Each structure stands twice: as structure tokens, then as C-alpha cells.
């Protein structure tokens, strides 16, 4: 432990105390054998003998889990809603996400190349909206299974020519279980066989009652293919967002969730993360799931390098030691040593857990065999 006395330091370096005292003097530190020297001096002296000092950082790895720190209400600011599009296969999720993305004026103005990072942001009436670009409920459930809640609003897409289907029900169940407000987009309205009334009736059985029938669910008829009804849909998203009073504190170390992650041959581990609170900055020491690193570079959904990202912003980051998993949470720490120590403690805990699990399994197998 630090500090050490000159005598203790000499002993550890296997040198004469007088030699250490001389070296300290050269550094401008006058000390006798019983005097304590601080970490900086220890590091400098050790370096002279070619010894690298590694300070053991005492950490409480549960600090990572204390992600829900209370923010001072005065520091809270409005943040963009994070929207997930769900629905039955072929009902038009991908077409809708593409259509929304292409009406993204900011991306065009900036002349940026839109790249796929698993999420994107559009601006509508000077307000930003973040869309998770991983359609389908698999992404949603994977995240939820890992304890992450990233979605503020779910758009359930139902094809007007097909109506409520098994995956429509599933999607609604997921959104309701997560207590995420639902907006129903009745898609393919351009088709002659479109029957929006039938869709409404079927959804009423699932407790989604349109406003005109005395309920409180918002229905928006659209054609993702023709780009019709998208303005109304965006307006409704903003309306629901306003009612939800979504807020975050940009003036703190960032926390959030991994949307996607992969290993890139050139860049190493690459992760798309959604900042949920605070502001993420290049250079930040970060713990992501069981891994850690320092944010070396950040890229937004337009492929532009950025230096910082506030609440509800999706960004791609590089600089992690390892590839995290979708749904992993991240948290920035004030120094890298601490981040590393916390990540290592978490990885160790995970290993123990897995070990305990395999041991239990084999024990069960053993009993089954008897």
C-alpha cells in the first residue's frame, strides 16, 4: 500500500536505503529512511531501476451497477425519444425505417454518407428522434433479457391488407410488458385491399383502442412505400415523447447501452452505443459490460467523426479491449485504472458464475444418471 517509507521502498527494490535516499535527493526530495514517499516518487525511482509500478486499484465493482444515480431535477434537460419499430414479418418495418431515414434532412444537408450503425437520428420540426435500426422484436427482447431498456416509444407496424398476425401480437406483448407507449402505424394504405377498420377492430381485442372509439391509442395510416403519412407519424412520436417528459442530465459522465458490437479487422472492437444519460466524449475511460477501454474515436450515423455525444445519441465507438454484447450497459469512469479494475472484477465475477453453473449442471446430470 502507498505511501511507503524509504526503507520499505529500498527493501522492495532490493537496494541499499542510502542509494534510494541519494536518488530521491536528485529528484529534489530530502528524505530519511523512515520518511514516507508518495506514489509519484515511488514510480520515478522504480523506473530508474527498470521496474514498472502497478498500483492496485481498490474498487467496488457494484459501482457499475449503480447506474441509476439520481440527477438534480435542475440539471435535467429534454432529450430525444428513442423509438423501436416492431411488427409482423413483411408488414413493412424495413421499408418504414428506410423511408424515415431518407426524409432525414440533416443527413442530406450535411452531405454525410449514411452508414449502418444500428440506430439513427432524424430531425423533425427542429426536434430530434432516435430510431433503433434493428427491426423486429428479437433485438428488443435480447436487450430486455439483458436488463436493458432503451426504447421510449414502440411503433407497431400492421399491414392494412393483412391485419393482426402472430408477431404483431408478440410485439404488442413485449411493448406492454416493458410499459412502452405504443403508436400503431397502419401500413400499406396504398393497396386497394387495405382495410384499416379491420385492423382497428382486431387491435381493440388487444386493448389498443383508437381515440375516435374512446380509447387512447394513436393510430396513423401510412404508406411506407410511397412515403405517405410519415409527417403525421413523426408528429405523433413527438407528441407522445412530450407526454412522457423524457429527460436526462447532459452534465455528467455518460451511461448507456450497447446496440450492436462487432470485431473489425482494422479498428478492433467496434460498438454502437446509445447514450442514455450524460455526455460521452472522446478520451473517456469506459466500462462496457465486462470489458473496458478508452473511447478512441466516435462516429455518428452520418459517418462523421464527433467529439461528444449527448443523451439519446447513437454513436459508434472504438477503443475497447474486447467486443461487448448487445444489451450490455456502459458507464464512464473518471480514470482508466478504475475502469479496468471494475471491468476485471466484473469479468471475474461472471467467470465464477458460469463456473458455478456448469458445476451445478454436472451435479444434476450426475443425479440423473443415478
Is 266 assigned a ligand-binding role in the annotation?
Answer: no
92 binds, among ligand GDP, Mg ion, none (CB under 5 to 8 A by kind): ligand GDP
Task: Check residue 94 for interaction with Mg ion (CB under 5 A).
Answer: yes
The response to whether 94 counts as a known ligand-binding position is: yes
CB nearer ligand GDP, residue 94 or residue 325: 94
Give 92 or 324: the residue with its C-beta nearer to ligand GDP.
92
90 assigned ligand-binding residue: yes
Q: Cβ of residue 229: shortest distance to ligand GDP, in angstroms? A: 9
343 contact choice in ligand GDP, Mg ion, none (CB below 5 to 8 Å, kind-dependent): none
CB 271, min distance to ligand GDP, A = 24
102 is in an annotated binding site: no
**Minimum Å distance from CB 103 to Mg ion?**
18
**Contact of residue 168 among Mg ion, ligand GDP, none (CB under 5-8 Å per partner type):** none
Contacts with 60 (C-beta within 8 Å, 6 or more apart), sequence order: none
- Judged by the rule CB under 6 A, the positions of this chain that interact with ligand GDP are 87, 89-95, 135, 187-188, 190-191, 223-225
- 99/320 with CB nearer ligand GDP: 99
**Total residue length of the chain:** 370
- Report the residue number, 92 or 210, with the smaller CB distance to ligand GDP: 92
Residue 176 site contact among ligand GDP, Mg ion, none (CB < 5 to 8 Å, cut-off depends on kind): none
187 contacts which partner out of Mg ion, ligand GDP, none, CB within 5 to 8 A by kind? ligand GDP
Q: Pick the stretch among 89-97, 161-169, 190-198, 215-223 that binds Mg ion (CB under 5 A).
A: 89-97
Looking at the Cβ atoms of 223 and 299, the one nearer to ligand GDP is 223
Closest distance to ligand GDP from the beta carbon of 84 (Å): 13
Toward Mg ion, which CB reaches closer, 92 or 293? 92
Smallest CA-to-CA distance from 311 within 283, 279, 341 is with 279
Binding positions for GTP: 87-94, 133-137, 187-190
The residues that touch Mg ion, with contacts defined as CB under 5 A, are: 93-94
Known binding-site residues equal: 87-94, 133-137, 187-190
Amino acid at each position: 500500500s502507498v505511501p511507503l517509507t524509504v526503507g520499505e521502498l529500498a527493501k522492495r527494490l532490493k537496494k541499499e536505503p542510502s542509494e534510494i535516499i541519494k536518488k530521491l535527493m536528485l529528484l529534489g526530495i530530502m528524505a530519511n529512511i523512515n520518511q514516507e514517499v508518495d506514489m509519484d516518487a515511488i514510480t520515478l525511482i522504480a523506473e530508474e531501476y527498470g521496474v514498472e509500478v502497478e498500483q492496485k486499484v481498490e474498487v467496488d465493482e457494484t459501482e457499475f451497477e449503480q447506474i441509476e444515480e439520481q440527477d438534480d431535477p435542475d440539471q435535467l434537460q429534454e432529450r430525444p425519444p428513442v423509438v423501436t419499430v416492431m411488427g409482423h414479418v413483411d408488414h413493412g418495418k424495413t421499408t418504414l425505417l428506410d423511408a424515415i431515414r431518407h426524409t432525414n434532412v440533416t443527413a442530406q444537408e450535411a452531405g454525410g454518407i449514411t452508414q449502418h450503425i444500428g440506430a439513427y437520428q432524424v430531425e423533425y420540426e427542429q426536434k430530434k428522434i432516435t430510431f433503433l435500426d434493428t427491426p423486429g422484436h428479437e433485438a428488443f427482447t435480447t436487450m430486455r433479457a439483458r436488463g436493458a431498456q432503451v426504447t421510449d416509444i414502440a411503433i407497431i407496424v400492421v399491414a392494412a391488407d393483412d391485419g393482426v398476425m402472430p408477431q404483431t401480437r408478440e410485439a404488442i406483448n413485449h411493448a406492454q410488458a416493458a410499459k412502452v407507449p405504443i403508436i400503431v402505424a397502419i401500413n400499406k394504405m396504398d393497396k386497394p385491399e387495405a382495410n384499416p377498420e379491420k385492423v382497428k377492430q382486431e387491435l381493440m381485442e388487444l386493448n389498443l383502442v383508437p381515440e375516435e372509439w374512446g380509447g387512447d391509442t394513436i393510430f396513423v395510416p401510412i404508406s411506407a412505400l410511397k412515403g405517405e403519412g410519415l409527417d403525421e407519424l413523426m408528429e405523433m412520436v413527438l407528441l407522445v415523447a412530450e407526454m412522457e417528459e423524457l429527460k436526462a442530465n447532459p452534465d455528467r459522465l455518460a451511461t448507456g447501452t450497447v446496440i450492436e458490437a462487432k470485431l473489425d479487422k482494422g479498428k478492433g472492437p467496434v460498438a454502437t452505443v446509445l447514450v442514455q444519460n450524460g455526455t460521452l466524449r472522446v478520451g473517456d475511460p469506459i466500462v462496457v459490460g465486462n470489458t473496458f477501454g478508452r473511447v478512441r474515436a466516435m462516429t455518428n450515423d452520418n459517418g462523421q467523426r464527433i467529439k461528444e455525444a449527448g443523451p439519446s445519441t447513437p454513436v459508434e465507438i472504438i477503443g475497447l479491449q474486447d467486443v461487448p454484447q448487445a444489451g450490455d450497459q456502459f458507464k464512464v469512469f473518471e480514470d482508466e485504472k478504475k475502469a479496468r479494475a471494475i471491468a476485471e472484477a466484473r469479468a471475474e465475477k461472471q467467470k465464477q458464475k458460469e463456473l458455478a453453473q456448469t458445476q451445478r449442471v454436472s451435479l444434476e446430470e450426475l443425479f440423473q444418471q443415478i
